[in-house]
Amino acid sequence: MSLSRIAGGLVAGAAALLALTLGIARGGGSVSVRGDGPGSLTLTAALVMLGGGLLILAIAGPRPFDGRIVRTGFALVVAGGAAELATANASASSALIYVFLLGGLGVLVGTIVTGIGLLRSPGRTRWVGLTFVAGIVLAIVAGSIANDSSVAFSAEANGLRAAMGMLATAAGGLMLVGLSGIGVLALLGKPGDGPASTPASAPSVE
């Protein structure tokens, strides 16, 4: 099995675990990196699998993952996720909490860079990038509205907060679709990646 297929399997598996984690969180379960409970276990396992898969693609990813922008995005996600995993249990008073926060920022920036890089590719790869960008935009909109003081602390805004929660879930779903797309592209390969056929030689004229 090629490294690309191994990476694709890891990324696709991570997307499935993240989808399960999202369902657990929506059901009221506790979810945290390296925390207790099923949701935390699936989240931590997903981050490990995702980091392994994206690391392979960042180093030796074939088309359509051989572009500098896409590989930089993958590398940022890997570095950010590793920082979060390493410092997840740091106390709020520890300086390591800043490493954890920087790791989260690295994952966010890496996701944006990856989406931009994929958008620059033609065909179905561009659609994968579009789902990333759409998910990020929706997440930013939902977070900005939900965290506004006039919404977050107002009893009259319960409906709006619920709507923003649904919008955030939709954003997460779009990004999971994009992540699954990366896994599928790595597993199946992009059309045209195979070796070009050798044209038949013209018959010699005596």
Nearest Cα residue to 78 out of 52, 98, 59, 96? 52
In a domain, 79, yes or no: yes
In a domain, 137, yes or no: yes
Residue ranges making up the domain that contains 149: 3-188
- In this prediction, residues 118-141 reach a mean pLDDT of 87
78 located within any domain:
yes
pLDDT in the model for residue 194 = 40
Distance, in Å, from the CA atom of 12 to the CA atom of 170, rounded to the nearest integer, reads 19
Rounded distance between C-alpha atoms, residue 37 and residue 95, angstroms: 26
Q: Is residue 194 in a domain?
A: no
Q: Tell whether 196 is covered by a domain.
A: no
| Residue 203 in domain | no
Question: Any idea of the CA torsion for 179, 185, 186, 192, to the nearest 10 degrees?
Answer: -160
Cβ distance 167 to 144 under 8 Å? Answer: no
What average pLDDT score do residues 105-126 get?
88
Name the pLDDT band for 195 (thresholds 50, 70, 90): very low
User: Which tokens belong to 189?
Assistant: 């390969």
**Whether residue 86 has pLDDT greater than 50:** yes
| Domain contains 198 | no
| Global model pTM greater than 0.85 | no
Domain total for the chain?
1
Please provide the average confidence, as pLDDT, over all residues in the chain: 84
Is residue 116 in some structural domain? Answer: yes
Instruction: Read off the pLDDT of residues 18-44 as tens digits, 9 standing for 90 and up.
Output: 999 988 988 888 888 888 889 889 999
Residue type, 146: A
d(CA 175, CA 110): 13
pLDDT at 206 over 80: no
Q: How much is the pLDDT for 192?
A: 38
